[in-house]
Structure 1
Amino acid sequence: MTPDQIGLVKQSYYLIAPVSHQAAGLFYGRLFSVAPEVRPLFDRANMFTQADKLWATLGKIVDVLDRPEALEPAAAKLAVSHLHYGVMPEHYAPVGDALVWALEQGLGESFNPEVRDAWTAAYDHISQAMISATNAAVRNAGAEAAAGE
């Protein structure tokens, strides 16, 4: 990501903050529409609380976008914690699509092609780090299980 893209992501994140609950509702509605297989992962979730968690987590990631030494471990920790809920690597693409779509809806005219490209680049970078961490955790769990046999 370029410094300009990081700036656009940060700026647009703070622009959408006042309507974050509405944006989260749009996000989950879109996600469940394009990837209905993820809906059961949220069966026990209070979706109002989940909206808060989504935007708080997104904010933590946005805050460290310009610091790779903090971003990579944060993404890895987030990925490993999501394994507990059943999140798999194939879920990341529809999440990214739903996120960018929800941002577009929430930001309206402020969501221009440069902002779209910046969010896409940010999500691609973060999701790749998360997928790598997920795959490593699964491999480690398999190795530990095999060693315990």
Structure 2
Amino acid sequence: MTPEQITLVQESFREVVPIKEAAAALFYEKLFAIDGSLRALFVETDMKKQGAKLMAALGFVVHGLSRADTILPTIQDLARRHVGYGVEEHHYATVGQALIQTLEAGLGEAFTQEARVAWTAAYGLLASVMIAAAKEMQLAA
């Protein structure tokens, strides 16, 4: 990611923070619309608490983009936990699609083409790190 992309992601996320509860609910609505089978991963989950966790994790990643090396261990741990929840590699593309759709709906015109490219790059980086960590864990088992 370029420094400009990092700035775009961080600035646009600041606009999400005031609407974080609605954004989280919208994210899961979009996620389940794209792939209804993912609902099974959340059967016993308090979705309001899950939404808060999602927003906290996104905030952590977004704020850490400018020093990615410092957040990598936490992201890798998150990926390993997600394996235990039943998350599979192909789910990451669906999550990325739901994230972009959520940002588009939540930010409206503020979600410019440049912001879309920046968020796509940020999510691509996050997903690749998580997928690699999950694969490492599975190979070690």
TM-score, normalized by length of structure 1? 0.92
Unaligned runs of 5+ in 2: none
Instruction: Tell me the SS of whatever aligns to 1:45.
Output: coil
Query: Which one-letter code corresponds to 1:17 in the other structure?
Result: V
Query: Which one-letter code corresponds to 1:62 in the other structure?
Result: V
Task: Tell me whether 1:42 sits opposite 2:45 in the alignment.
Answer: no
Whose Rg is larger?
Answer: 1
Task: Tell me the number of residue pairs that the alignment of Structure 1 and Structure 2 aligns.
Answer: 141
Instruction: Tell me the SS of whatever aligns to 1:129.
Output: helix
Determine the C-alpha separation between the residues in 2 that align with 1:121 and 1:107. Answer: 18
1:71 positional shift = 3.0
Determine the C-alpha separation between the residues in 2 that align with 1:62 and 1:101. Answer: 17
1:86 positional shift = 0.7
Q: Residue in 2 aligned with 1:132?
A: 132
Query: Which one-letter code corresponds to 1:42 in the other structure?
Result: F
Determine the C-alpha separation between the residues in 2 that align with 1:7 and 1:78. Answer: 24
1:83 positional shift = 1.2
Say which is worse superposed, 15-24 or 114-123, in terms of deviation. Answer: 15-24
Query: Which one-letter code corresponds to 2:109 in the other structure?
Result: E
Q: Residue in 2 aligned with 1:72?
A: 72
Give per-residue Cα distances to partners, 1:44-102, cap 9 Å, x unaligned: 11011111000001101111111121132222111011112111111000000000110
Q: Residue in 2 aligned with 1:6?
A: 6
Query: Which one-letter code corresponds to 2:107 in the other structure?
Result: L
Matches within 5 A, 1:109-124: 109-124=109-124
Task: Tell me whether 1:84 sits opposite 2:57 in the alignment.
Answer: no
Determine the C-alpha separation between the residues in 2 that align with 1:2 and 1:10. Answer: 12
Determine the C-alpha separation between the residues in 2 that align with 1:95 and 1:87. Answer: 11
Which consecutive aligned stretches of 4+ in structure 1 deviate over 2 angstroms post-superposition? Answer: none
Task: Tell me whether 1:54 sits opposite 2:54 in the alignment.
Answer: yes
Matches within 5 A, 1:96-111: 96-111=96-111
* Conserved? CA contact 1:61–1:74, under 8 Å: no
Q: Residue in 2 aligned with 1:146?
A: none
1:35 positional shift = 1.2
TM-score, normalized by length of structure 2? 0.97
Identity among equivalent positions (%) equals: 44
Superposition RMSD on alpha carbons, in Å? Answer: 0.8
Query: Which one-letter code corresponds to 1:121 in the other structure?
Result: A
* Conserved? CA contact 1:5–1:118, under 8 Å: yes
Q: Residue in 2 aligned with 1:145?
A: none
